[in-house]
Chains A and B, each alone.
Chain A
Amino acid sequence: MFEQHLAVLPVLLPLIAAPLVVLINKPRAAWLLSTLFVGACVYISFGLVSATMDGGALRYALGGWEPPWGIEMRVDSANAFVLLTVSVIATLVLLFAKESIASEVAHKQLPLFYSAYLLCLAGLSGILITGDAFNLFVFLEISSLATYTLVSLAADRRCLTAAFRYLVMGTIGATFILIGVGMLYMKTGTLNMLDLAERIQAVESHRTINTGLAFIMVGVSIKLALFPLHMWLPAAYSFAPSAVTAFLAGTATKVAIYVMLRFVFTIFGAGYVFEQMNMEIIVLVLALAGIFQCSFVATTQSNIKTLLAYSSVAQVGYIILGVSLVSLTGLTASLLHIFNHALMKAALFMAVGAVFYRMGSVQIIAFQGLGRRMPWTMSAFTIAGLSIIGVPLTVGFISKWYLVTAALEQGNWLVAFLVLVASLFAVVYIGKVIEAAYFKEPSEDADATKIKEVPVSMLIPMWLLVLANIYFGIDTSLTVSAATAGAEALLNGSSLVGGVQ
């Protein structure tokens, strides 16, 4: 019975847990229940990854109605891989959140916080595994609403403005996606993704479909924070509670990138989007512009959360860059970096969260001299930071390696060169923090004797991520094969549409 429902459980479990948590209304029990359910999602995601590794897909007809009349969940190696990333990060952040969130969110609100967290996860999982374009929008709404709530729960009141801006931008993005899906429906009479892919061919060059593509691309670009539509992200990441930032940085933009991949490769088809509409030029230029502009802005920040937020926008640029190359290696690099970047950014934001837990500040001045007082936290920050830079033996290196290879494959020396140059910015902004932590004396007003390492329950998830950064930087067989399988699934999707298979 369990096997039969494998493809729907990642979204059902958190969806059922979220209302339960509100009914229980006890912070500790709420946390425990959430962790159990989310942990179960990790187990299921592993099952899904191994079940789809051979290139097959699991389909699940909800209500027993066969698609396109009913809604189906459809898991292939592409979304299984992203789903695994999301559920692993969600679990580790929950472990971290127990202490971290308790210190940042009012005690009374904790059950509601965990409920919103579960709703957010359920929404993200739903977006990932659904095979229906409108159902995707419904889950997008769930995850977005929950995200705005999560961002707005920090003690710093500035989070309200950040959440409001995020809400306005996010709603515009979601509306654009809905308008686009509506146009597709009008021309094809279906909402099922595979069915859409098949029927869209007959009407491919129609102006309504072109407009639908434009609206969906712009809407998704807002959601994934593609330069220059990223302005909501730095504020939201800076003012959200630490654990929320760690969670969002590892999951939310990644899922939006998946949505773009799904629409481009499975529904519209790469041939239409890239050859006919020449989207790859626009996307490539925006990705590179984002990498450089946001990396540069990151070097000028003194608030470390803002610094890392700008770095995140730049990293989104790398992922999109891989997509714009439209090749197996490029897509593999993108999927790899979705996973790898989740590992490093979640670890970095956890480390910053740990500093906030002790210092009550994330300004660079608070980091001074922390190398000695919070050795575990700062060494975690350092290793994850090296990973962002792309130093060998970390996952960051693997991502960059595949990205540069993909660029060179097409003889695109300029792109390969620019990717490497952009890494120098990361050296500057990560180096700045490391310098403060290890080579500067603590600032005078900080009461030095009171500063000590954070509780073990915060260090364990942080270090699990750091170790994963190193492990998957050395043994790449698992991640690369999963990412390659995912890239193949996406490309096959479009060749299936093109009638090659």
Chain B
Amino acid sequence: MTVLIDLILLAMLVITAFRIIYIKDLFSVVMLFGIYSFLCAALFVTLDAVDVAFTEASVGAGISTVLMLSTIAITGRKEKLSLHSHTFATLIVLLTGGALIYGTFDMPLFGLADNPVHEHVAPRYIETSPTEIGLPNMVTSVLASYRGFDTFGETVVVFAAAIGVFSLLGVRGKPTELLAQEQGLTQHKVLRVVAKISIPLIILFALYVQFHGDFGPGGGFQAGVIAAAAFILYALTFSLRKAVGVVSPRFVKYLAPVGVLLYASVGLVSMLNGANFLDYNVLAADPVDGQHYGIIIIELGVGITVFSVMLGIFYAFAGQVEKANVQ
């Protein structure tokens, strides 16, 4: 049964990819990208990687779509015809694809229990993480504790992206005149009502994902994105002016580094207690409690940074759309 589902999903993935290549209308391309991400997320679910699926759905299908839409709002909907010859590029792509296929020939068979990935490092995570860390969601144990430094790095990657966007597009200061007149989608009553009902639920769900990540799929990355999505939905339906009134761009800019510092501070406290950076065992008298405290705080740091960066990037993009409208 799963084989059938996999085949259908993969076939749809390939079809979507080909459509993306051939369609010239960029609006449709963005929509297809969203579908592509959803299909990926579905595939991850069949692979039992629900945490990854969660992230793919919220980032790939959610935020990225909004950001790409704001980009084509500035650049226009039609793809420009390229005059270059694509022969050489096609050759390179075919070569790369060929190499990837060649690489699959000696790959361990899909899903076998005695694959190297199941036999070397993973057994320790499965056998001892319940007693060492004590979380039901092992993915969180690996991401937040065993490989917590990677997660710290990834949080910094998100922060670095924000630095790039803020320095290129600027952080909006006071609302401009044009913004003050903006009314949002006043004519769309249904949209406004639906948004009004769903926004509190989305925020509530974000908080649930944030703090329930230890027990089920989820965590700071997903929660941050979902929370940001609620505010973006608010900005899209009720006008940017009102959203900026609730959470200002300047606040978001200062909030982003706070999350990174919160994460780092957990590591620094471990150091002050005489252990290595990010060693949560020393945070409480009982090492397992220490792990819990450490993971909750670093996940909060991740959530804060991801939320503020996503919203900040949206504000920066929206500012550009507005500028383009003025001109």
Contact = CB atoms under 8 A, between A and B. Distances in A.
Nearest to A16: B264
A189 B121 contact: yes
Interface string B250-291: 000110111011001001100100111111110000000000
Given A119-B156, A119-B160, A148-B164, A190 B103 contact: no
Interface stretch (B9-17, B25-33, B141-149, B313-321): B141-149
A69 B126 CA distance: 12
A interface SS class: helix
A62 interface: yes
B247 interface: no
Given A116-B167, A190-B120, A22 B254 contact: yes
Nearest to A187: B116
Interface residues of B, number: 58
Contact of A68 (B120, B154, B260): B120
Interface in A106-144: 108-109, 112-113, 115-116, 119, 122-123, 126, 134-135, 138-139, 141-142
Interface in A178-232: 179, 183, 185-191, 199, 203, 206-212, 214-215
Contact of B146 (A69, A108, A210): A69
Contacts of B258: 19, 23
B168 interface: yes
B99 A214 contact: yes
Max chain A C-beta neighbours (<10 A), residue from B120, B153, B157: B153
A63 B163 contact: no
B159 A186 contact: no
A152 interface: yes
Contacts of A199: 116, 120
Interface string A135-176: 100110110011011001100000000000000000000000
Contact of B164 (A5, A15, A145): A145
Contacts of A135: 149-150, 153
Nearest to B305: A19
A357 B62 CA distance: 45
22 contacts: A12-B264, A15-B264, A18-B257, A19-B264, A23-B254, A63-B145, A63-B148, A64-B281, A65-B146, A70-B147, A112-B163, A112-B167, A119-B159, A138-B150, A141-B160, A142-B156, A146-B163, A149-B163, A149-B164, A153-B167, A153-B168, A186-B117
Interface of A: 1, 4-5, 8, 12, 15-16, 18-20, 22-23, 60-65, 68-71, 108-109, 112-113, 115-116, 119, 122-123, 126, 134-135, 138-139, 141-142, 145-146, 148-149, 152-153, 179, 183, 185-191, 199, 203, 206-212, 214-215
In order of increasing CB-CB distance, the 4 nearest A-B pairs are A211-B103, A19-B257, A189-B120, A64-B279
